[in-house]
Structure 1
Amino acid sequence: MLLGMMNILMKACGLGNWRPFYLDIIFKVQMGNCLRPSRNGSDKDSKLNFSGGNVHVIGSGEEWDEKISEANKEGKIVVANFSAAWCGPCKMITSHYTELSLKYSQLVFLTVDVDELMDLSSSLDVRATPTFFFMKDGQQIDKLVGANKPELEKKILALAESSKSSSF
């Protein structure tokens, strides 16, 4: 795909007019940030599948508040995935997120569909999907934008280790 995009851009601009900002566009697409739904809306009604994991699917603002409150009372760190059913990178990282929820069960894993809970997503300033928030005591302690599997696992591992050391 990347090679095809480069060929199209090179033909459109001419080899001598190749500009670095085109590379920026290509790599942003490859990194995995969705900014809006696809135009055809073909997968708008489908849901991301988090079955088999320890991921709580949040369906309302009240449910969000409850899960955050429970995590606070238990002294647990929350990992919240803000995603959308139409987002390709969100679909790509869903199974990895589910696996991480099983591997690091001392953390609370949540997922929020940005289209279903627009007010919540807006209040947290979600501008692209997927966006992962890492929260402790109801406060954001870190954030990751994009479907970067190694970086997501690195952040979760660090939080899991810090939660182990603080629980002794």
Structure 2
Amino acid sequence: MASFGGWRRQVSYPSVVPRVSSTTNGSSRVIAIHSTARWKSHFDASKLSTQLMVIDFTATWCKPCQLIESAFEEMAAKFTDVVFVKIDVDELMEVAQAFQVQAMPAFFLLKQGKVVDKVVGTKKDELQRKIEKHKI
């Protein structure tokens, strides 16, 4: 887990496989949000829906985030009735602060604009269980 509060980046991690994202081939169901305006629009629309939204708070320098990225993409492909969103904390710091993100990766599960659950760390089995629980 990489620390978010105070932007501590001095954590060393073992070598990992380079980050590969299916967003490059256009087949990803994960919505990457890069602006506050787009986030606000997306968040406001989600308040009117009963559909589960899973937010992945990440950063390009976060090695644990890179480790779980492919699992998050796979979940997005599997759970087609769930909205999957990715937010880089360096790009949208105010959104991360609004959700009180203190470590990453951090996954927030929302329904109708309200947080119903969260998972911090690379706990993909726990994240999948919580998605299955709340997607109904």
TM band (smaller chain) = 0.7 to 0.9
> 1:58: which partner in 2?
33
Going by fraction, where is strand more abundant, 1 or 2? 2
Q: Percent identity?
A: 33
Alignment partner of 1:34 is 2:2 = yes
- Larger deviation, residues 64-73 vs 98-107: 64-73
Q: TM-score, normalised by structure 2?
A: 0.82
Asked which structure has the greater CA Rg, the reply is: 1
Which position in structure 1 is the counterpart of 2:21? 49
Q: How far has the Cα of 1:54 moved from its partner? A: 0.5
Q: May I ask how many residue pairs the two structures share in their alignment?
A: 124
Q: What does 1:123-134 correspond to in 2, within 5 Å?
A: 123-134=98-109
Q: What secondary structure, in the 3-state scheme, does the structure 1 residue paired with 2:119 have?
A: strand
Aligned counterpart for 1:143 among listed residues 115, 118, 131: 118
Instruction: Read off the aligned partner of 1:49 and give its amino acid letter.
Output: S
Give the alignment partner of residue 63 of structure 2, picking from 88, 93, 99: 88
Partner SS state of residue 103, structure 2: coil
CA distance in 2, matches of 1:126, 1:105: 26
Worse-superposed segment, 96-105 or 62-71: 62-71
More helix by share: 1
Q: CA RMSD of the aligned region, Å?
A: 2.1
Moved over 3 A (4+): none
1:56, 1:109 within 8 Å by CA — same for their partners in 2?
yes
Q: Which runs of 5+ in 1 are unaligned?
A: 1-32, 41-46, 163-168
Which whole-Å deviations, capped at 9, do the CAs of 1:104-127 have from their partners, x for residues lacking one? Answer: 011110000001111111111000
Gaps of 5+ in 2: 13-18
Scaled by the length of structure 1, what TM-score is found? 0.67
